[in-house]
């Protein structure tokens, strides 16, 4: 948990490659955060999904659930079955670093993305029928102007931008600048999860994506990639850290 706070991304290796591991990890900390995808969700190919995540397509870098007023703090992904063919790699990028660079290199675009509210929405039924929407600036800052979180998700951004028409071009220009900074290789992790590995990352700070893959069968059995995911909130993580700090280090209570 300390490393997750510090670096925004950690990995657990050698977990069993079966269902329910994310829940077990979450239960050690607190409890899973329920969303419109249920408690645990399975990332696999579906043919009638309302989300690109549950297909075999490439997934551009993004954070999850920006159409919620309060985005879950941490996402877990557990690899139950990895495809033997090429593709299906997980990709991670520290958005804090991308934002810091954009601010230094193109303050105008940075400014626009902290001010202009973009609309995000999800309509469909993967777990329950849902029509969620939320307008928010893409780059969220604290009262002191520090990086607080990112809400970049082009897969669920609404098809229009709700600004006066004269401003549309500069918003798209700022989005393009961010997009270019985002894919620079020196801040880009490409890693194909192995079966039994669990990755946990800050859903407000670390963008994630995936390369495309194909559905495969072997001896009549489905050998396609299968991940299980879950969310966990920072409140529960900090609560557990305080309890452990008290019991292990004798740190006094508030």
Please report how close the Cβ of residue 39 comes to its own copies at its closest, in angstroms: 9
* Under rule CB under 8 A, residue 128 binds its own copies: yes
Q: Which of 85, 105, 131, 180 binds its own copies (CB under 8 A)?
A: 131
Q: Between 160 and 217, name the residue whose CB sits nearer to its own copies.
A: 160
* Under rule CB under 8 A, residue 30 binds its own copies: yes
Q: Is 247 helix (H, G, I), strand (E, B) or coil?
A: helix
Site residues (CB under 8 A) for its own copies, limited to 31-50: 31-34, 36
* Under rule CB under 8 A, residue 78 binds its own copies: no
Please report how close the Cβ of residue 181 comes to its own copies at its closest, in angstroms: 27
List all residues 6 or more positions away from 86 whose beta carbon is below 8 Å from its beta carbon.
213
- Both structure tokens of 88: 């299906």
Neighbours of 218 (CB within 10 A): 8
β-bridge pairing 139-141 and 147-150: antiparallel
CB of 245 closer than 8 Å to CB of 46? no
Q: Nearest 5 degrees, angle CA 150-CA 29-CA 148?
A: 15
**Cα–Cα distance between 101 and 181 in angstroms, integer?**
8
Please report how close the Cβ of residue 237 comes to its own copies at its closest, in angstroms: 11
**Cα–Cα distance between 182 and 94 in angstroms, integer?**
9
Site residues (CB under 8 A) for its own copies, limited to 186-245: 233-236, 238-239, 242-243
Q: Nearest 5 degrees, angle CA 52-CA 56-CA 59?
A: 50
* Under rule CB under 8 A, residue 119 binds its own copies: yes
Please report how close the Cβ of residue 236 comes to its own copies at its closest, in angstroms: 8
Site residues (CB under 8 A) for its own copies, limited to 53-72: 68-70
Q: Which of 3, 18, 158, 167 binds its own copies (CB under 8 A)?
A: 158
Residues that bind its own copies (CB under 8 A): 30-34, 36, 68-70, 119, 121, 123, 128-134, 158, 233-236, 238-239, 242-243, 246, 253-254
């Amino acid at each position: 948990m300390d490393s997750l706070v510090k670096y925004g991304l950690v990995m657990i290796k050698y977990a069993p490659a079966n269902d329910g591991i994310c829940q077990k990890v979450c239960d050690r900390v607190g409890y899973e955060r329920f969303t419109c995808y249920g408690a645990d969700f399975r990332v696999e190919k579906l043919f009638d999904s309302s989300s690109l995540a549950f297909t075999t397509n490439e997934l551009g870098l993004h954070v999850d659930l920006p159409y919620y007023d309060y985005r879950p703090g941490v996402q877990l992904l557990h690899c139950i079955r990895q495809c033997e063919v090429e593709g299906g790699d997980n990709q991670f990028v520290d958005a804090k670093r991308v934002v810091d660079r954009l601010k230094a290199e193109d303050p105008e675009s940075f400014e626009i993305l902290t001010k202009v509210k973009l609309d995000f929405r999800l309509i469909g039924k993967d777990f329950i029928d849902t029509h969620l929407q939320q307008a928010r600036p893409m780059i969220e800052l604290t009262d002191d102007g520090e990086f607080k979180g990112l809400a970049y998700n082009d897969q669920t951004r609404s098809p229009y931008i709700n600004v006066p028409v004269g401003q549309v071009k500069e918003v798209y220009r700022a989005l393009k600048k961010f997009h270019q900074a985002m894919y620079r290789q020196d801040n880009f992790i490409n890693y194909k999860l192995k079966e039994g590995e669990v990755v946990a990352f800050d859903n407000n700070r670390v963008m994630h994506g995936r390369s495309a893959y194909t559905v495969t069968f072997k001896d009549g059995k489905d050998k396609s990639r299968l991940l299980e995911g879950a969310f966990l909130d920072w409140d529960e993580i900090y609560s557990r850290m305080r309890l452990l700090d008290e019991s292990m280090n004798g740190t006094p209570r508030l």
